[in-house]
Amino acid sequence: MSRSDEVSFLTLTEAGRRIQGGSLTPTEYVETLIDRIRRLDPMLRCVITAAGEAALAAARDAESEISRGDWRGPLHGIPIGVKDCIATAGLRTTANSRVFGDWVPEEDAPSVAAMRQAGAIVLAKLNLNEFAWSIPGEDDLYAPPRNPWSPGHYAMGSSSGSAVAVASGLCPAALGSDAGGSVRQPAANCGVVGLKPTHGLVSSWGASGPPTICEVGPIARSVDDAALMLGELTGGRESYFESLDQSPGHVRIGVPRRHIDLAQCDPQISAAFADALHVLRQLGFEVVEVEIEGLADAAAADFVVLNTEAFAAHEVTLRTKKNEYGQSARLYHLQGAFLSAADYIVALRVGDAVRDRVNEALSAVDVLASPVVPVLTAEAARAAKAQPHTGGGAVFTAPFNLTGHPALALPCGMSAEGIPIGLQLVGRARGEVDLLRLAHAYEQATPWHAMHPSLDVAARLSVER
């Protein structure tokens, strides 16, 4: 492996150690990744705006600070990506829409500000479904990212660019946003870790998402890295990363079997999930089945809330900038206009009821486990959305947006076609420490997180076509 490839696939934690120790400089790191973006992104299509000179200037500043002894912590001098619906001061934020095509925010979203405060460098703004709520297509302002494991498929969304960039070694970690599974699904589909924090733990202001259900969360190559980012996103109030040194202890894992069976998962996903449960049992954890009524209803209700809040946020621009929306995004954002206030309130009450039931289940078990998505590819997920408001591909993820519980996706297998498969773990509200510890234990016992796609071959084939 070349020095460039080795640097490109460093975990954030290891890169931080090297920068602190002086064997890697922020400038070399940023230059390496800019070169990689230049070589691979024409095939991957995950970068909307590369920060280029600004990132290099920030890297030089970080280098000066560190050489003066002003090391801020493990994220100092680390380049990260940011989903392009999350505001970045001085850097174009398009949400992949012509409506926002030239918008340069004056302020960072709090999540971005927290990353910069920790010393991280914004390297690139990353592709997404338009406004994170549309069916992506080739006519979008920026065409959809390809799955680096299988470039003939799109990557699942909506934080598709964030997951593709991290999986492909274009940045060690990225911020995504998740209102129905948009961090966890692309993470699972690209073989990386994605965390949707407890509702309200991380500010989602400035992320263009429906505020009742949308969370900003990290996408990274390991549970360690996700924990490190979460610590900074929450202002360092909790030592998520440091807590991983401790054993998770005796953990009781609940499997909502009936809900999973009703989703009729792809057989390869069912097999990978069964294998994951086997590994968890071998690690000494107890796995039991639980019955939680209403999870599918919560998924559907999440989309009622999403549609209502999406229309409310876009009502004015849907009139004033109608033709600047892509067709899918415009219709997706219009449909909430036909729901009533009572529909919205009922959906929230369904969330309250299911939250109570999930809390009750989580008093008997410590964590819930399920697949992340019932299908293998973005195209199959789209077909599952033939009725787009009933959960479809989001049947396992969306319930926990509405209930607000933290949920994490991590790789647990690979399909015969070579597409990653993910495991979802759901914890108690504000129970991220326990959730991350269990995920870390699983990750340490399995090989999936250490695998990377063979991108140079894929890029060459793409060019040769």
Partner 1 sequence: MKLLSKARLREMATARELDVDEGDLTRLLPMVRDLLEVARRLRTTLRERPATQPE
Spatial distance between the Cα atoms of 276 and 279, rounded to a whole number of angstroms: 5
Spatial distance between the Cα atoms of 84 and 117, rounded to a whole number of angstroms: 19
| Active-site residue flag, 196 | no
CB of 195 to partner 1, least distance (A): 25
- The residue from 111, 182, 204, 208 that is catalytic is 182
The number of angstroms, rounded, from the C-alpha of 244 to the middle of its chain's C-alpha atoms is 20
Spatial distance between the Cα atoms of 404 and 375, rounded to a whole number of angstroms: 24
CB of 426 to partner 1, least distance (A): 14
Closest CA to 267 of 153, 376, 420, 419: 376
CB of 390 to partner 1, least distance (A): 6
- The residue from 111, 134, 150, 158 that is catalytic is 158
Mapping DSSP to helix (H, G, I), strand (E, B) and coil, where does residue 397 land?
coil
- The residue from 83, 111, 160, 168 that is catalytic is 83
* 444 contacts: CB under 8 Å, gap ≥ 6: none
Q: Is the distance from CB of 12 to CB of 221 less than 8 angstroms?
A: yes
| Active-site residue flag, 158 | yes
CB of 385 to partner 1, least distance (A): 10
Q: Which is nearer to partner 1, 28 or 343 (CB)?
A: 343
The 3-class SS string of 7-66 reads HHCCCHHHHHHHHHHCCCCHHHHHHHHHHHHHHHHHHHCCEEEECCHHHHHHHHHHHHHH
Residues engaged in binding partner 1 (CB under 8 A): 254, 288-294, 297, 300-301, 303-304, 307, 318-319, 322, 327, 330-331, 334-335, 337-340, 343, 346-347, 349-350, 353, 356-358, 360-361, 364-365, 387-390
Spatial distance between the Cα atoms of 149 and 188, rounded to a whole number of angstroms: 12
Spatial distance between the Cα atoms of 360 and 34, rounded to a whole number of angstroms: 48
CB of 212 to partner 1, least distance (A): 15
Closest CA to 330 of 131, 160, 180: 131
CB of 52 to partner 1, least distance (A): 39
Q: Which is nearer to partner 1, 191 or 393 (CB)?
A: 393
CB of 363 to partner 1, least distance (A): 8
Q: Which is nearer to partner 1, 243 or 390 (CB)?
A: 390
Spatial distance between the Cα atoms of 441 and 251, rounded to a whole number of angstroms: 11
| Active-site residue flag, 182 | yes
The number of angstroms, rounded, from the C-alpha of 296 to the middle of its chain's C-alpha atoms is 21
* 30 contacts: CB under 8 Å, gap ≥ 6: 55, 56, 58, 59, 79, 121, 123
Q: Is the distance from CB of 73 to CB of 62 less than 8 angstroms?
A: no
Q: Which is nearer to partner 1, 81 or 351 (CB)?
A: 351
Q: Which is nearer to partner 1, 80 or 305 (CB)?
A: 305
Q: Which is nearer to partner 1, 23 or 387 (CB)?
A: 387
Q: Which is nearer to partner 1, 283 or 334 (CB)?
A: 334
- Cα distances (angstroms) measured from residue 210 to each of 67, 196, 303, 328, 461: 42, 14, 10, 18, 40
Q: Catalytic positions, please?
A: 83, 158, 182
